[in-house]
Amino acid sequence: MRRAFLLLTLANVLTGCTADQGCLGEWCGTVVVASPAEAGTLLPPVTESDVGRSVIDLVFLRLADIGNDLDLVDTAAFVPTLASSWTFDDSVTLTFELRDDVRWHDGMPVTAADVVFTFDVYRDTLVGSPARPRLAQIRSVTARDAHTATFRFARPYPEQLFDAVYHMWIIPRHLLDSVPRTELASHPFGRAPIGAGPYRFVDWTAGQSIDLAGDSTHVLGRPGIRRVIWRFTGGDYEAALTQLTAGEADLLSYLSTEAQERVAAAAQLVAVPHRPSTYYSYLAFNFRDPDEPARPHPLFASRDLRRALTLGIDREAVIHAVDGPDGQVAPGPVTPAYWIADEPPEQIPFDTAAARAALESLRWRDSDGDGVRDRAGRPLAFDMIVPITSTPRRRSAVIVQEQLARLGVAVRIVELDFNTFLERAGSGAFDIAFGAYGGDPSPSAIAEVWTSAAIGGFNYGHYTNAAFDGAVAAALDARDLDAARTHWQRALDLIVADAPAIWMSVSGPQAGVHRRLDGVTIRGDNVTATLPEWHVPPDRMIGRDRLAN
């Protein structure tokens, strides 16, 4: 009976119906997030999806947060959260003073021991946290006392404070220290987390929804929205959009071109841009043979072929068709949020004549008149895997397919559910993978995806270039911004010329938002980063805003 009651209550929330007993005070408001994809886990060290990060950012706290401008190198721009203050004792020692009034949602106090434990978990190779490489320059984290945590770095560099606070949400030692590290990723905690953030976890109905409730006594202040619900549509973007336009949802994190038109036509909705954009999409070439990974890929091990295919794709036309006239072509593995983005590298231009000439010079010719080039009996044909949850990538893939077909190149699009896409990409079972990376506003994320050290992680295509690796290492080792910028520019020039991928879009996406919500901004790295500051004025509330937790 209790399960039936919960489902009925959730249905009422999502459809906007009123309840017999509801929220009658000043603090009300519900945000329903329409989400094509579902989170994999809510354990912060191993959360990879955007949906998961959006949820845990409300349930857990970092030591400090970056401001809405995503300025990583100005320490004055950071906002205290779990830590009340911090100081550099010397160039490699950073000390945080923790608030003494923060408690986990089960009532236990948050202490520096939790900070030490969190760092240990994130850095443990048995856990396999995607953020682990970003913490490599932190040599140790120790607790001076219950409310003082000290970070010691291998060397000084511009993003020390950012690395110390951004990549780790603090997790409860008293609940997780007895769990074997090899079992953490699958532990039930990831389906029912206990954090210390402004929202408490309430319920996760697999395949349907995640429900959070605001903490009215939170030390950082009561959040403006009382309840947040993610409603999943099983990878169906159109279903999520329909929920938004029909008034059943309040937020859709990304609007395609068609969705922007439908939102503009809906009186109750408004499009809000992500500022600044931290995401880029790309077509990653696999350098290894999917069938025999020990061997080079029979096509894409060739730099000349990769460059020829890049020449043949009109990226601007693709992006404008999918993202609209304000869409931006990615100049490389870099986004507008990066502090190195003001000097883009030299591009491989769109030039079909040059593309055809390059393919001819490589002896790829249509010898049998079937419209597909071939060489030594092998057609110039390959698969492109695309996640079915990403409408922009699906639409872009079709346009790329059409453009390459005009050059005599056959592309078969393989649409996969998101988890299968990640599994195929991670295991190297693809020719081209239409990937996307983002959320992290630091250029050091380039190392996480494209260096040789990232093979086995996000470097799905097994790209390796010693000169590029060296330039990235020099940028990361630089002690000042000017030196780091010089090395980053060198790295970008090298990787764009080498074409391990075709860089597609860095368009500043837009979110669809219900107009009754006030104070809405969408930060480029995380769609819900500022959600605790949103609110619903009492005279704009609808049925679901008055429902109790």
Structure confidence by residue, pLDDT tens digits, 24-71: 677 899 999 999 999 999 999 999 888 999 999 999 999 999 988 888
Q: What is the pLDDT of residue 5?
A: 29
Q: What is the pLDDT of residue 398?
A: 98
Task: Give the 3-state DSSP-derived string for 219-287, with helices as H, strands as E and coil as C.
Answer: CCCCCCCCEEEEEECCCCHHHHHHHHHCCCCCEECCCCHHHHHHHHCCCCEEEEEEECCCCEEEEEECC
3-state secondary structure of 2: helix
Q: What is the pLDDT of residue 227?
A: 97
pLDDT tens profile 123-151: 999 999 989 988 999 999 999 999 999 99
Top-confidence residue, 542 or 3: 542
Q: What is the pLDDT of residue 12?
A: 40
Stretch among 94-98, 130-134, 150-154, 309-313 having the lowest mean pLDDT = 130-134
The CATH code for residues 280-503 is 3.10.105.10
The CATH code for residues 22-50+197-276+509-546 is 3.40.190.10
Mean pLDDT across 111-121 = 98
Mean pLDDT across 433-449 = 89
Nearest Cα to 98, choosing from 43, 146, 27, 132? 146
The domains of the chain are located at 22-50+197-276+509-546, 64-176, 280-503
Q: What is the pLDDT of residue 353?
A: 98
pLDDT band at 276 (very low <50, low <70, confident <90, very high): confident
pLDDT band at 8 (very low <50, low <70, confident <90, very high): very low
pLDDT band at 274 (very low <50, low <70, confident <90, very high): confident
Mean pLDDT across 508-514 = 89
pLDDT band at 10 (very low <50, low <70, confident <90, very high): very low
Mean pLDDT across 163-176 = 97
Top-confidence residue, 26 or 450: 450
Q: What is the pLDDT of residue 175?
A: 98
3-state secondary structure of 334: coil
Q: What is the pLDDT of residue 22?
A: 67
Question: What b-and-e string marks burial along 175-195, b requiring 16 or more CB atoms within 10 Å of the CB?
Answer: bbeeeeeeebbeeebbeebbb
In this structure, are residues 417 and 387 in contact, taking their beta carbons and an 8 Å threshold?
yes
Q: What is the pLDDT of residue 19?
A: 39
Stretch among 5-9, 314-318, 407-411, 509-513 having the lowest mean pLDDT = 5-9
Mean pLDDT across 505-528 = 91
Mean pLDDT across 259-281 = 91
Q: Which two tokens stand for residue 462?
A: 């097994």
Instruction: Reply yes or no on whether the pLDDT at 6 is more than 50.
Output: no
Q: What is the pLDDT of residue 134?
A: 85
Share of the chain above pLDDT 70, in %: 95
Instruction: Reply yes or no on whether the pLDDT at 9 is more than 80.
Output: no
In this structure, are residues 222 and 25 in contact, taking their beta carbons and an 8 Å threshold?
no
Residue spans of alpha helices (H) in 339-480: 352-361, 391-405, 418-427, 445-450, 466-477
With 0-12 / 13-18 / 19 or more C-beta atoms within 10 angstroms meaning exposed / middle / buried, residue 541 is middle
pLDDT band at 549 (very low <50, low <70, confident <90, very high): low
pLDDT band at 171 (very low <50, low <70, confident <90, very high): very high
Strand pairing category for 501-503 and 227-232: unpaired
The CATH code for residues 64-176 is 3.90.76.10
Average pLDDT, the chain: 92
pLDDT tens profile 184-222: 999 999 999 999 999 999 999 999 999 999 999 999 999
Top-confidence residue, 70 or 176: 176
Task: Give the 3-state DSSP-derived string for 15-79, with helices as H, strands as E and coil as C.
Answer: HCCCCCCECCCCCCCEEEEEECCCCCCCCHHHCCCHHHHHHHHHHCCCCEECCCCCCCCCHHHCE
Distance CA 189, CA 210 (A): 14
